[in-house]
Amino acid sequence: MKRIKISKLLKSNVPKDEVLIKGWVRTRRDSKGFSFIEVNDGSCLKNIQIVADSTLNNYQDVSRLSTGSAVVIAGKLVESTGPGQEWEVIAGRVEIVSLAPESYPLQKKRHTDEFLRTIAHLRPRTNKYGAAFRIRSELSFAIHKFFRDRDFKYIHSPIITGSDCEGAGELFKVTTLALGNPPKKDGKTDYSRDFFGKEANLTVSGQLSAEMFALALGDVYTFGPTFRAENSHTSRHVAEFWMVEPEMAFCDLEGNMDLAEEIIKYLTSYILDECIDDLELFAKFVDKSLMSTLENVASSDFRRLSYTAAVKILQKSGKKFEYDIAFGKDLQTEHERYLAEHHFKKPLIIFDYPKNIKPFYMRLNDDNQTVAAMDVLVPKIGEIIGGSQREERIEVLEKRMDEMGMPKDDYWWYLDSRRFGSVEHSGFGLGFERLLMLMTGISNIRDVIPFPRTPNSIEF
């Protein structure tokens, strides 16, 4: 007999004479002549209740089953007469695969997120983290579906790169040189003797690769891990995170904002439709306003306004912010959240940022001061998307790189794309973990990624 997953079993909603279930014991309670065992197999939030009769030949062992033990159960699915569940399995056979001792850390009580982070290898076995990571899986699928339905091609951009896309210098170096004793030339490390013959690092963004492919395949996207050595201890930054980066040829900033709004709404509706059981757990235990937040995101038109207009609103707000706000300064999370949560009370898109706070590749506006950048801000989180129309005019791009002191030789191939058949094009990066925070109401980014990497923390 083939095993059936609990998710499938409960969906079919009809009795079955023979079922085989494999999973882990959540709880067990005994009553006269019976043991009731709650088994979960990770396929869904719900457990299935197993009724083990004292006539089972191994009942002695069964009645000692502890939380966390692995079991295989063959039996019959019947409508339950007891309260609390619609269906239960009358066990014909209970095979104990392995027993978990009492030292199993996930006994039946609520644990703090901080404690669970110290046992990140076990936390997916809890209801909350099981739900979070099932939603993460569904959301990944939904992203591919969104793009495929719109005829975007999926590109695998490299993990190891020789260029710094964002120009912010928050790079993890990749090297095979001996750290203590690297070869030197003129007093400096001689990277010509390194593995790639030059400096290499982990990618901070797949954008530059995506641009090359957009100018060949039209509409493309990447969806992969990115790495930033930012030493920021916030609840919204990790050193390794996943980013979704669409890039569209023949597309201006307006089209870019349209796609950003469409994908956020699509994914929110998708999760509301497909993950309701798991979402309800978060609405009950994590964020009471989750459902109204998600419905608001899915149904409202995102407010669009320029950076200059946003700065004016913040200055007039009368609110005391920790960081000053003035034209030319980057918006901080407190500013972003004020706008999304308090002022507009819905997602918004801010565009046309000052050029001095944005990377080299963003398209210069006619005012010579701002670039065609856009950020999408959502309630509770702040920035979830960052993107722009790209500078397609080679003279302007080269001038900008010179101003910023960038080594143009290293970017010869990027500049080539502006020499041969250059067209207006645009794209953005959607932070996948920030998206999950929005979907679940989880307020710390460390709790939406399986094994978070942050400064001084790389256990697991």
Residues that bind ligand 4AD in the complex, under the rule CB under 6 A: 165-166, 205, 207, 228, 230, 237-238, 241, 243, 245, 383-387, 427-429, 431, 433-434, 445
What character string, x for contact with Mg ion (CB under 5 A) and - otherwise, covers 195-224? Answer: ------------------------------
Residue found under tokens 């793009």: 147
Output 243 or 325, the one with its CB closest to ligand 4AD. Answer: 243
Q: Which residues does residue 37 pair with via DSSP β-bridges, in sequence order?
A: 28, 50
Nearest CB to Mg ion, comparing residues 134 and 237: 237
**Near Mg ion by CB under 5 A, which window of 169-177, 385-393, 414-422, 433-441?**
385-393
Closest CA to 142 of 50, 227, 262: 262
The phi, psi pair for 228, rounded to 5°, reads -140, 125
> Rounded CA gap, 308 and 191, in Å?
44
Cβ neighbours of residue 301 closer than 8 Å, sequence gap 6 or more: 261
User: Strand 303-306 vs strand 34-40: parallel, antiparallel, or unpaired?
Assistant: unpaired
CA separation for the pair 76, 196 (Å, rounded): 61
Minimum CB distance to Mg ion smaller for 23 or for 431: 431
161: partner contacted, choices Mg ion, ligand 4AD, none (Cβ within 5-8 A by kind) = none
Read off the amino acid at residue 62: V
Shortest Cβ 243–Mg ion spacing (Å): 11
DSSP string, 416-460: HHHHSS---EEEEEEEHHHHHHHHH----GGGSSSS--BTTB---
For ligand 4AD, give the closer residue by CB, 263 or 385: 385
Quote the least distance from Cβ 1 to ligand 4AD, whole Å: 45
Contact of residue 75 among Mg ion, ligand 4AD, none (CB under 5-8 Å per partner type): none
Q: Which is nearer to Mg ion, 200 or 430 (CB)?
A: 430
Structure tokens at 104: 């199993």
Q: How far is the CB of 392 from ligand 4AD (least distance, A)?
A: 15
The conformational region for residue 134 under phi > 0 = left, psi -120 to 50 = alpha, else beta, is alpha
* Tokens representing residue 447 in the block: 């709790």
- Segment 344-383, which members bind Mg ion (CB under 5 A)? none
CB 71 within 8 A of CB 13: no
- Residue 211 touches which of Mg ion, ligand 4AD, none (Cβ within 5-8 Å per kind): none
130 binds, among Mg ion, ligand 4AD, none (CB under 5 to 8 A by kind): none
Least Cβ distance, residue 39 to Mg ion (angstroms): 45
Rounded CA gap, 430 and 443, in Å? 17
Which one, 41 or 383, has the nearer CB to ligand 4AD? 383
What is the closest distance, in whole angstroms, from the C-beta atom of residue 409 to ligand 4AD in the complex?
A: 21
Q: At what angle do helices 276-285 and 290-299 cross, to 10 degrees?
A: 130
Q: Which is nearer to Mg ion, 88 or 336 (CB)?
A: 336
Cα 38 to Cα 20, 68, 84, 261, 438, distances in angstroms: 15, 11, 12, 42, 31
Smallest distance from ligand 4AD to CB 238, Å: 5
The entry of ligand 4AD, Mg ion, none near residue 207 (CB within 5 to 8 angstroms by kind) is: ligand 4AD
Cα separation, 369 vs 350, in Å, equals 16
* Residue 68 site contact among Mg ion, ligand 4AD, none (CB < 5 to 8 Å, cut-off depends on kind): none
When binding is defined by CB under 5 A, the residue of 23, 75, 246, 386 that contacts Mg ion is 386
Considering the complex, state which of residue 418 and residue 434 has its C-beta at the smaller distance from Mg ion: 434
Q: Considering the complex, what minimum distance in angstroms separates the CB of residue 166 from Mg ion?
A: 8
429 contact, one of Mg ion, ligand 4AD, none, CB 5-8 Å limit per kind: ligand 4AD
Minimum distance between the CB of residue 460 and ligand 4AD, rounded to whole angstroms? 18
Residue nearest to Mg ion (CB): 386
Alpha carbon of residue 106 to chain centroid: 25
Q: At what angle do helices 253-274 and 127-149 cross, to 10 degrees?
A: 130
Distance from the Cα of residue 414 to its chain's centroid? 28
Tally the C-alpha atoms within 13 A of residue 457's C-alpha that lie toward its C-beta: 16
Smallest separation (angstroms) from ligand 4AD to the CB of 108? 33
The option from ligand 4AD, Mg ion, none interacting with 387 (CB < 5 to 8 A, set by class) reads ligand 4AD
Report in angstroms how near the CB of residue 166 gets to ligand 4AD at its nearest.
5
* 174, 160 contact by CB (below 8 A): yes
Burial class (CB in 10 A: 0-12, 13-18, 19+), 29: exposed
User: What's the min distance (Å) between Cβ of 353 and Mg ion?
Assistant: 10
Closest CA to 230 of 241, 222, 220, 219: 241
| CB of 130 or CB of 386, closer to Mg ion | 386
> From Mg ion, ligand 4AD, none, which one binds at residue 227 (CB under 5 to 8 Å depending on kind)?
none
Give CA–CA dist 272/403, Å, rounded.
Answer: 47
- Binding residues (CB under 5 A) for Mg ion: these are 386
